[in-house]
Amino acid sequence: MVSVNIRAAKTHLSRLVERAAAGEEIVIAKAGKQVARLVPLRETKRVRQPGSMVAQPFWISDDLDAPLT
């Protein structure tokens, strides 16, 4: 884990993002106090299940196609 001050983070943001994307954790500090953490984004791939909402209750109003007032 690397700690950088906020000024250095603003100056070298693109480099820090590349390092975080490579798996490194970077802590951003302001006046010596940790305020943020830059970590790699975990990609979550959800598999879509056709028909997964079949068991859910479904209701349509009787006046669905009525003109608006």
CATH number of 2-38: 3.40.1620.10
What pLDDT shows up at residue 47? 84
Residue-wise burial string across 38-51, b where 16 or more C-beta atoms lie within 10 A, e elsewhere: beeeeeeeeeeeee
What pLDDT shows up at residue 5? 95
Question: Of 3, 29, 7, 26, whose CA–CA distance to 16 is shortest?
Answer: 26
What pLDDT shows up at residue 41? 87
More confident residue, 15 or 68: 15
What pLDDT shows up at residue 57? 85
- Which two structure tokens, joined as six digits, stand for 5? 């001050």
For the stretch 6-64, pLDDT in tens is: 999 999 999 999 999 999 999 999 999 999 999 998 888 888 888 887 888 888 888 88
What pLDDT shows up at residue 39? 95
Cα–Cα distance for residue pair 6/57, rounded to 1 Å: 50
